[in-house]
Amino acid sequence: MPDTQPAVQLDHISRHYKMGENFVRAVDDVSLSVGRGEYLALLGSSGSGKSTLLNLIAGLDRPTAGAIVANGANLAALSPLELARYRRNTIGMIFQSFNLLPRMTLEENVDLPLRLAEVERSERAGRVREALERVRLTHRTGHRPSELSGGEQQRVAIARALVNSPKILLADEPTGNLDSTTGEAILSLLRELQTNLGMTIVMVTHERPLAERFADRLATMGDGKLLSTAPTTRGEAQ
Amino acid sequence: MKFQDLSDLALRNLREALLRNALTTLGVAVGVASLVAIMSIGVGLQQFTSKRLSQSGLFDTIFVTAKNNFRGMGRPQREVQTDKPPRPLDEDARRELEKLPNVIEVYPQVRFFTEVRFHNKPYATVVAGMPDSSRNSGAFDGMQGNFFSSASANEAILQIEFAKDLSDKPPSLIGQDLTLRYAERQAIPAAGGDSASSAGEGGGFSVVPKELHLKIVGIVETEPAAGYGGTGNARLLIPLDTASTLRAAQVNDLRDIVRGSNANKTVYPSLSVRAKSPSQVSVLEASIKNLGFNAFSLLDASKSLQIFFSLFDSLLGIFGGLALTVATLGIVNTLVMAILERRREIGVLKALGAADSDVRQLFFVEAGIMGFLGGILGVGFGWLLGRAITFGVNVYLKRQNLNPIELTSVPWWLVIVALVLGVVVSLLAGLYPASRAAKLNPVDALRYE
């Protein structure tokens, strides 16, 4: 399945910063390649640097050293504006705490990336509906996020991440705020979307059993370093 | 982001913190209102003054006298022209002056002190002849009743104070008659049937009391062109031709006699030349001087008056500007608070692909909307404030038995200036918060709880 060129190529990247007196190596010389259409789970305890790594791939942060090539673009060489465009068109992101804008309805939340991408108004409503259908949320779309359950909110967040048809979906602890049943449902939805849409998924999680069930490969981090990568049984089967 | 989406988002954000943003907008409104109110007083006063002045007819009128007129006494004599005898200000001179370009009318000052009888009571007053052209000079705008029906009608317009002397209800006077008692001078031919050439010398005139019935057609606040007469403000105005034909005993008659001029031939002590507009006065004044007459106008006074008012206005503007500055600080404060509150939202927007410029513009538009709404509200408040001040002043004036005045004026340019100022100042206030929001690190912002 993976293309010859990887979706994300991390080449000796480091992210260091100073926190008060301390010098923190949040990500320390990590090299990793994520194939196209691959579902990679980043495991590790908190503070292991997995979220920082995800932010680097997302273009929300820049590495101190090393190069990141995502979807053919060297992120280090992009201007802030180009980086914003990259986030808008190539990346979709979901978060542990959903990060829906509380004052907007579900539809409006999903519409937001289309606004930022300056998609024509006439086209937007259809794309919003389509994205919501993919996550199987077609009723109560005029409600506000607070009126929904956590699982529903995360599905709206997924719809929002999908609406610009990104190549890469980045998920930061997507099940962290959900009970196990709902968390499983969300992960199987992600798996289904990945299969149907051919997306690449990089998911940060600390729940190894779930990761083993849904991801193709596990990458484990500790103290900012990549400790190991190993395919799951599912990944091996492919 | 497209502007429509941007303003849509901005409005939504403004609605969310409704109370705070409304208060901030109100702050802008108060700033703009104080500016508008203060400026409207400045503008109103200026309009009031220049209207009064233009009604007075002082600024489009040139006052012409003969070179040897004794009016020049006390002033250092300018270059004494010995080659030419001084020209008399007679009928020929009047015609010549009328032919000058941009002259509407040349008329003599006809005013005299006389007795008026109304309901058989005598009143002593000054009567002045009004040229027909003053009908359109603006001086009779807002008068009660009408202007004279013709240039030689036996009609009178009363000055309001005189009208109050005549009746408790001045408006009821219109349509009533009054009687003008005047002394007519009749030349006495020189004894011995002398020829006309020597009529003035040796002859004289007798003064014959006469009466003229006048119909009151109107009441006016002040006499136009009251500045020059020398006999004080006239309180009874009659058509100039009517006044001239009365040939009443005018103040300068004695001087004419002393000077030995012809009693039959009209020599004017002075003539008023009305120009089409004040801008032509200085050129006209020069050409009248070339004809060999004295001429002067009050145009220079009007110029310095304009300088005074532009200084006055800018001074007032500074005070209004101070209030607006305070409002600006309010906007800065509100938006900086909003950044803290919406940190996470800014992070989400950036994660979804918003560029720094999108975030900056969003805050900018929010500031602009507050400024625009504040500007509109402020213009309204300012206008109301101006009305209130005018009302208060007029209540006071009424108690003092004075006529009400239009103290404040909000011209359209002031409305535009206030709106633009509200928006510009708000945008300036939005500069710092907007750039701070745009520079927010998305990773930190997303971590922020």
Q: What whole-number distance in Å separates Cα of residue A201 and Cα of residue A194?
A: 7
Lowest mean pLDDT among A51-55, A100-104, B99-103, B294-298: B294-298
The overall pTM is greater than 0.80: no
Q: What is the average pLDDT across B112-137?
A: 80
Q: Is A107 on the interface with B (CB under 8 A)?
A: no
Summary mean pLDDT of chain B: 78
pLDDT at B253: 52
pLDDT at A203: 95
Q: Is the pLDDT of residue B110 over 70?
A: yes
Locate the domains of chain A by residue range. Answer: 36-60+78-237
Report which of residues B40 and A91 the model is more confident about: A91
Q: Is B53 on the interface with A (CB under 8 A)?
A: no
Q: Is B17 on the interface with A (CB under 8 A)?
A: no
Q: Cβ contacts (< 8 Å) between B348 and chain A: which residues?
A: 99, 101
A24 φψ region: left (φ > 0), alpha (ψ -120 to 50), beta (else): beta
Q: What whole-number distance in Å separates Cα of residue B48 and Cα of residue B392?
A: 17
Q: What is the pLDDT of residues B409-431, one digit of tens each?
A: 888 888 998 899 889 988 988 89
Q: What whole-number distance in Å separates Cα of residue B10 and Cα of residue A31?
A: 42
Please indicate whether, in this complex, the C-beta atoms of B353 and A87 are within 8 angstroms of each other: yes
In sequence order, the 6+-apart residues with CB closer than 8 A to the CB of B118 are B166, B176, B178, B179
Q: Which CATH entry fits the domain spanning A36-60+78-237: 3.30.930.10, 1.10.760.10, 3.40.50.300, 3.40.50.2000? A: 3.40.50.300
**Closest residue of chain A to B13, computed from CA coordinates:** A103
- Contact in structure between B159 and B237 (CB atoms under 8 Å): yes
Q: Is A197 on the interface with B (CB under 8 A)?
A: no
Q: Is B350 on the interface with A (CB under 8 A)?
A: yes
Burial of B80 (0-12, 13-18, 19+ CB in 10 A): exposed
Q: Is B291 on the interface with A (CB under 8 A)?
A: no
Q: What is the pLDDT of residues B355-381, one digit of tens each?
A: 999 999 999 999 999 999 999 999 999
Please indicate whether, in this complex, the C-beta atoms of B352 and A89 are within 8 angstroms of each other: no
* Residues A151, B348, A160: CA angle, nearest 5 degrees: 50
Q: What whole-number distance in Å separates Cα of residue B424 and Cα of residue B445?
A: 30
Burial of A46 (0-12, 13-18, 19+ CB in 10 A): exposed
Q: Any alpha helices (H) in B186-298, and if so which ranges? A: 240-246, 253-259, 281-290
Summary mean pLDDT of chain A: 91
Please indicate whether, in this complex, the C-beta atoms of B350 and A84 are within 8 angstroms of each other: yes
Q: What is the pLDDT of residues A55-100, one digit of tens each?
A: 999 999 999 999 999 988 899 889 999 999 999 999 999 999 999 9
pLDDT at B330: 83
- Contact in structure between A108 and A100 (CB atoms under 8 Å): no
Please indicate whether, in this complex, the C-beta atoms of B350 and A87 are within 8 angstroms of each other: yes
Q: What is the pLDDT of residues A8-24, one digit of tens each?
A: 999 999 999 888 888 88
Whose CA is closest to B278, among B436, B100, B126, B53?
B53
**Closest residue of chain B to A53, computed from CA coordinates:** B443
Q: What is the average pLDDT across B328-346?
A: 86
Between residues 68 and 97 of chain A, which touch chain B (CB distance below 8 Å)? 80-81, 84-89, 91, 93, 95
Q: What is the average pLDDT across B250-257?
A: 49
Q: What is the pLDDT of residues A148-191, one digit of tens each?
A: 999 999 999 999 999 999 999 999 999 999 999 999 999 999 99
Q: Is the pLDDT of residue B190 over 60?
A: no
Q: Cβ contacts (< 8 Å) between B16 and chain A: which residues?
A: 103
pLDDT at A190: 93
Q: What is the average pLDDT across B118-143?
A: 77
Instruction: Grade residue B81 by pLDDT with cuts at 50, 70 and 90.
Output: very low
Between residues 357 and 396 of chain B, which touch chain A (CB distance below 8 Å)? 357-358
CA distance B339 to chain A (A): 15
Q: Cβ contacts (< 8 Å) between B358 and chain A: which residues?
A: 84, 116
Q: Is B442 on the interface with A (CB under 8 A)?
A: yes
Q: What whole-number distance in Å separates Cα of residue B368 and Cα of residue B380?
A: 18
Q: Is A229 on the interface with B (CB under 8 A)?
A: no
Q: What whole-number distance in Å separates Cα of residue B353 and Cα of residue A92?
A: 9
Lowest mean pLDDT among A109-118, A171-180, B274-283: B274-283
Q: Which of A88, A99, A103 sits opposite B353 (nearest CB)?
A: A88
Q: Is A208 on the interface with B (CB under 8 A)?
A: no
Q: Cβ contacts (< 8 Å) between B443 and chain A: which residues?
A: 55, 60-61
